[in-house]
Chains A and B, each alone.
Chain A
Amino acid sequence: MVDSGNASAPKPSSSVKLVLLGEAAVGKSSLVLRFVNNAFQENKEPTIGAAFLTQKTALPTRTIKFEIWDTAGQERFASLAPMYYRNAQSALVVYDLTKPTSLIKAKHWVAELQRQASPGIVIALVGNKLDLTKGAGGEAAALPAEEEGVEGEGEGEGDGDARKITTQEGRSYAEEEGLLFFETSAKSGVNVQEVFTAIANAIPETQMKTSRQGAGGGAGGGTQAALGSDRVNLTGGKGEAKEGCAC
């Protein structure tokens, strides 16, 4: 609720459905908590089912209201995922920079999204827990993930560096697949707002549902059905996504 105050300025506003996917405990809920409440919890409990949150974010020309599905990473909830990404315009696929299996899982999710979700869906690949890697000091906060990552890359595993997945590995995969790419820390807040802003920027205006309707009523089968016709196959979508990534 932190920054939502200035969001009430009379700009055009539109809503964006976003889903978070990724292995258990990679920090999906923590990213959302950081984005929505600007807070962090050291021992966050696993999500059960899914949580639905909304948060407004102000862009220079408009206000975006994110309708966020924070899904549970536990295996047993996987079968419910389609319900959450089915109508999503964007997805955050999260992995844990300190856990190799989590990138594999992330790739699975990306593949599933590309196969099953709305064709124009904007996907951001997010390597989280950057604070656990070397060179994740305070000054890194200002830097886009990539630059900072490049430095850390060659160094391998130095003291106190729990990084298991290099920035290069994540980024080149993201490039191949046309995904936005960020390395974040929900704990320190690095790059969290940036991910959401980049997503907001990457979604073509035509795909957004304008103003109140979507926001308030964002409910009901009716809206969902309407959204179905909204599905525009934007071949340009991926290209734009890359640009957004370089912001």
Chain B
Amino acid sequence: MPHDASPPSKRSSDRQNSGDRASGASSNGKEHGPPSPGKDDNIDEPAGDARDFAESSKAAPPPRLDRDVRPPLPPRPTNISLIQDSGAIAGQRQHQSPRAQLLSRATTAISKADIQAQPHKDSPKKVSPTSEQSTPPQGPSQAFGSIRSLKGLGRSDAGDTASIRSFATTVGHGGDNESLLGDGLFGSSQDLPTWRLFSNEEGGIEPEELDRSEDEEIDMNFYKEFDAVAGVSEVGQDEEKLIRQWKAKQKHFLILTSAGKPVYSRHGDDQLISSSIGIIQTIISFYEANDDHLKGFSAAGARFTIMSQGPLYLVAISKLGESDTQLRAQLEALYMQILSTLTLPTLNHLFANRPSTDLRRPLKGTEVLLSALADSFTRGSAPALLSALECLKMKKSQRQIINNTLLRTRCPSLLYGLIVAGGRLVSVARPRKHSLHPSDLQLVFNMLFEAGGIKAGGGENWIPICLPGFNKNGYLYMYVSFVTASPSSSSSADNNNNDEAIENPEDISITQDTVAILLISADKESFYELRKMRDQLIDELDKNNSMQTIRSAIRQGRPAPTDIVPGTVIRHFLYKSKGNVQFMMPSFEPHFPTMLDRRKLLSLYHALHAGVHAKNAHLKVYHCISRNAVSLAWVTPLFELYCVAGPNASRNALAQSANKVIQWMKREEERVFIIGGAVF
């Protein structure tokens, strides 16, 4: 079977490959298990879909251009080759800036994993996060073949079939927990979280800590999560009280140098955190001294995850139940932000000269970006969880017009051109030989849409930025212009936005009616050139009605789950197209109106995600039943689907809806995702 050939790590597999694997998987799925619990007539559905899906995306010709069959969108998954053409390493010199050589070097980055290759890596003894990330979640072939029967699950339909795995998180089901969770899924893997709010499997927190009152306390605290902890030195501050406030935070991110100097802390000032920094540094260096590398531990109901990157230690302390892998990805993003500010050579240089360097000074001004990232993780972020982008849904032909407009107005020094509306990607122009990395786009989106500073400033911006996925050694220059999506005021920035609206970054106004034009160049002198391109671009987009298209697409917003599958029990879902490195989700309304609702939803997604991505969990379909929700994760080589239904939904209904979602996605794929894009 094709998938037998697929190695556990498919770092450099190309699309052709994954297509093959996909068909393999689908035929396999036919034999062994769709998400429908035990109904034979349901079994074929997803399998057939999966295959069709594979074929359709394989067949979908990259719009325009005689290109190979690679996924056309720049952003790449971490587990798929990020090289556009492996032969394209040298000779990319059309940009004559001093940075030109950096461009060509960038293509040598194979994946995010490459970027984190630092002198101090995670323990060789244990599974490193790097290898974890570059491993396809499906794992080796037996993932598809394994049949695990379900026993004793409270609400399970008896006939549960192949490769369906469930767990219960409710205290009421406590008696079943042991048998359900004892083996395979989590227990046998060293790399797995030992503490997880929603799954509550082993270690860490005691079951009774998860009872309702505890939940409520967490809820209460969450609303205070983003309140500032006052400075110790401020007058009238009772340090005891501050420390209590500090400890009450659900999530901390700390960054320190290996010499123990604080670099960044999401909460609390230097004085407040100094003792914690000291303790953490002591613990880490104790292990380091023994040539061991501490990756994480649990204490006081929190999970501590530690990442060592060159001269830096990054620490996440979370009570929100993410897995180590997920927390490490968050730390990785913070590290990328630091690189993005400084570049790797500068960072290394600072510490090579003086190991006791205080990094706060060179990083000044970056705290807001780090905090914006940290807070998006704390609120829960689907793009971060999935390492994928969300696009603005529109007709293929309409997007084509926009792509062509981008290409037509392209100026010589343009490297990447992006149009982003309502926080979602509309179009991307890029050189054929360079892709855009999801981790880089995460930084850019964070800077522009999460941290409000740039947008609030009004006007146009010229921002030196290192995109580490592209090239961690040098800067690019990013022209940013926010354009109100109405023809009349097309060139004026939208100044009336208050960035307080961030609490609901999606539906609410902050990014609502603006279109961001991002033009990236390697030439720091190209501002006026890019600005001129912006003017032409907007002009043409106005003329060919694309601004109108974009505006109505924004206004339409995300469809509700019931718009996608009428009458569905699904309250929310995430669908990730792996090949496109993009995801789709319906609106949070009406079921998840508040920040807390969404945090809980995202926590559930994290649990599902951790479940199907756990090492040795060769799962294709994964059910989770908790007090508040029945949910399902379904992973194939082509997509990942995570769906959540209400607590009383039957798994059958959920599975059927999941199938319908897949059908819908298949039908709408070319509208929901950017397939092709503008390549030059």
Contact = CB atoms under 8 A, between A and B. Distances in A.
Interface string B419-459: 00000000000000000000000000001000111101111
A75 B342 CA distance: 12
A44 to B, nearest CB: 7
A47 B454 CA distance: 7
Interface residues of A, number: 35
B212 to A, nearest CB: 38
Contacts of B462: 49-52
B364 A45 contact: no
Contact of A1 (B452, B457, B492): B492
Contact of A52 (B362, B524, B527): B527
A111 interface: no
Contacts of B452: 45
Contact of B528 (A1, A24, A36, A219): A219
B525 interface: yes
B531 interface: yes
Interface of B: 341-342, 361-362, 364-365, 368, 447, 451-454, 456-465, 477-478, 492-493, 495, 524-525, 527-529, 531-532, 535
A220 B528 contact: yes
A51 B528 contact: no
A80 interface: yes
A247 interface: no
A54 B460 CA distance: 9
Given A80-B524, A220-B532, A51 B495 contact: no
Interface in A27-83: 29, 33, 36-37, 39, 41, 44-54, 68, 70, 72, 74-77, 80, 83
A36 B493 CA distance: 12
Contacts of A49: 461-465, 477-478
Contacts of B535: 219
B464 A47 contact: no
Nearest to B534: A219
A51 B481 CA distance: 10
A44 B464 contact: no
A223 interface: yes
A70 B365 contact: no
A224 interface: yes
A221 B532 CA distance: 11
B453 A223 contact: no
B368 A45 contact: yes
A219 B532 contact: yes
A75 B525 contact: no
A204 interface: no
B463 A75 contact: no
A53 B528 contact: no
Contact of B456 (A41, A72, A76, A217): A41
A46 B457 contact: no
A119 interface: no
A75 B359 CA distance: 13
Given A72-B365, A74-B365, A48 B525 contact: no
B364 A74 contact: yes
Interface in A96-140: none
Contacts of A47: 365, 453, 457
A237 interface: no
Nearest to A55: B459
Contact of B531 (A45, A77, A83, A219): A219
A75 B361 contact: yes
A29 B365 contact: no
Contacts of A72: 365
Contacts of B493: 53
Contacts, number: 95
Contacts of A39: 495
Contacts of B447: 48
A144 interface: no
Given A33-B458, A224-B528, A75 B362 contact: yes
A239 interface: no
Contact of B457 (A33, A76, A223, A224): A33
Contacts of B365: 24, 46-48, 72, 74
B528 A48 contact: no
A36 B527 CA distance: 21
Nearest to B464: A49
A73 to B, nearest CB: 9
Contacts of A41: 456
A45 B451 contact: yes
A50 B492 contact: no
A74 B342 CA distance: 12
Nearest to B492: A1
Contacts of A50: 461-463
A220 B342 CA distance: 29
Contacts of B342: 76
A39 B497 CA distance: 12
Nearest to A54: B459
Among B361, B457, B461, B524: residue with most chain A CB under 10 A: B457
A70 B464 contact: no
A65 to B, nearest CB: 13
Nearest to A45: B453
Nearest to B528: A219
A32 to B, nearest CB: 8
8 contacts: A46-B364, A47-B365, A48-B453, A48-B463, A50-B461, A50-B463, A52-B462, A75-B362
B69 to A, nearest CB: 38
Interface string A138-178: 00000000000000000000000000000000000000000
Nearest to B460: A52
A80 to B, nearest CB: 7
A219 B529 contact: yes
Interface in A202-227: 217-221, 223-224
A83 B529 contact: no
Among B361, B453, B456, B524: residue with most chain A CB under 10 A: B453
A51 B524 CA distance: 14
A36 B492 CA distance: 12
B70 to A, nearest CB: 32
A76 B461 contact: no
Nearest to B364: A74
Given A1-B495, A39-B495, 16 more contacts: A1-B492, A37-B495, A44-B456, A45-B454, A47-B365, A47-B457, A49-B462, A49-B478, A50-B462, A50-B463, A52-B460, A70-B459, A83-B525, A219-B531, A219-B532, A220-B528
A220 B463 contact: no
A39 B495 CA distance: 10
A72 B341 CA distance: 13
A247 to B, nearest CB: 27
Contact of B453 (A24, A46, A53, A219): A46
Contacts of A219: 528-529, 531-532, 535
Contacts of A77: 464
